[in-house]
């Protein structure tokens, strides 16, 4: 179940976690190391004392432990700041429509007889000479097919007029869209994008970053999967 961001979530981002435990373990290891070194100095053979090289080597190891501890603390702070920034960015998307990888297309007829369809999009690695759109129903039957023409590289969004290949209004329901893009005789690896509304946000955890809740049909996506905000 998705968790909507609130004041409790913001506080969880700033609470101590594995980084704090690691710092405590490093401090304990450093203290133990120093205790062993002092004990060794106190009980060394006066006729055969520890040489300077060995002393320097052990002190260097202590400094290395301290340096690792400080590095871990710094990295932990940077991670927390990044997570907090992602959380704020994600919460700003709640209630907005986005294009994410997928091929789902919805059609609904209003009481006024007008046909409404959800937008769809395409992401191209390079410019295409021609892009064809194929609309199919849940059974895989082709409802309509038409050419968009040339499309530049990147992300572009489009809408379907809701008509079949015979020019009639398609029935209300869920459809699928397939994109075929070509450059000369070469087929391009195009990514089809479908429309969804962000309903909530799941805060970062140990398994990953912020995730957007798009509802039961679409599930959850990460911020980098949002290709366009509509």
Longest pairwise C-alpha distance within the chain: 104
Block residue for tokens 């979530």: 9
Q: In what order do the strands lie in the sheet with 120-124?
A: 154-158, 120-124, 191-197, 97-101, 228-229
Two tokens at 190?
A: 């195009």
Indicate the CATH number for domain 97-197: 2.60.40.4070
pLDDT digits (tens, 9 = 90+) for 11-25: 333 344 454 455 566
State how beta strands 211-213 and 200-202 pair: antiparallel
What residues pair up with 202 in beta bridges, in sequence order? 211
Q: What is the mean pLDDT of the chain?
A: 78
Q: In what order do the strands lie in the sheet with 200-202?
A: 200-202, 211-213, 220-222
Query: pTM for the full model?
Result: 0.63
pLDDT digits (tens, 9 = 90+) for 87-145: 777 888 899 999 999 999 999 988 887 899 999 999 999 999 999 999 999 999 999 99
- Report how far apart, in Å, the C-alpha atoms of 66 and of each of 31, 77, 115 are: 10, 17, 67
Tell me the pLDDT band of 216, cut-offs 50, 70 and 90.
confident
Residue environment code for 51-72, b if the CB has 16+ CB neighbours within 10 A, otherwise e: eeeeeeebeeeeeebeeebeeb
Q: How is residue 112 annotated by DSSP?
A: T
Rg of the chain in Å (alpha carbons): 29
Given a contact cutoff of 8 angstroms between Cβ atoms, the answer to whether 189 and 171 are in contact is: no
Block residue for tokens 């009481």: 111
Which pLDDT does position 202 carry in this prediction?
86
pLDDT at 188 over 60: yes
State how beta strands 211-213 and 142-151 pair: unpaired
Please count the CA atoms within 13 angstroms of the CA of 29 that sit on its side-chain side.
15
């Amino acid at each position: 179940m998705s968790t909507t961001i609130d004041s409790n979530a913001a506080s969880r981002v700033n609470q101590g976690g594995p980084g704090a435990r690691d710092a405590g373990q490093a401090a304990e290891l450093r203290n133990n190391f120093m205790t062993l070194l002092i004990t060794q100095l106190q009980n060394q053979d006066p006729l055969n004392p520890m040489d300077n090289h060995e002393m320097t080597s052990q002190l260097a190891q202590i400094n290395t432990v301290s340096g690792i501890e400080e590095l871990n603390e710094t990295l932990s702070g940077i991670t927390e700041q990044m997570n907090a920034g992602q959380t704020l960015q994600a919460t700003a998307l709640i209630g907005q429509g986005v294009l994410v990888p997928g091929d789902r297309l919805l059609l609904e007829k209003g009481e006024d007889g007008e046909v409404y369809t959800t937008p769809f999009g395409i992401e191209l690695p390079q410019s295409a000479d021609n892009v064809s759109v194929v609309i199919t129903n849940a059974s895989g039957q082709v409802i309509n097919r038409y050419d968009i023409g040339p499309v530049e590289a990147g992300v572009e969004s489009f809408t379907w007029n809701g008509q079949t290949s015979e020019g009639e209004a398609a029935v209300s329901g869920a459809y699928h869209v397939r994109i075929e893009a070509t450059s000369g005789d070469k087929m391009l690896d195009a990514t089809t994008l479908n429309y969804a509304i962000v309903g909530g946000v799941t805060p970062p955890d140990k398994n990953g970053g912020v995730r957007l809740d798009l509802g039961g049909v679409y599930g959850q996506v990460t911020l980098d999967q949002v290709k366009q905000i509509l």
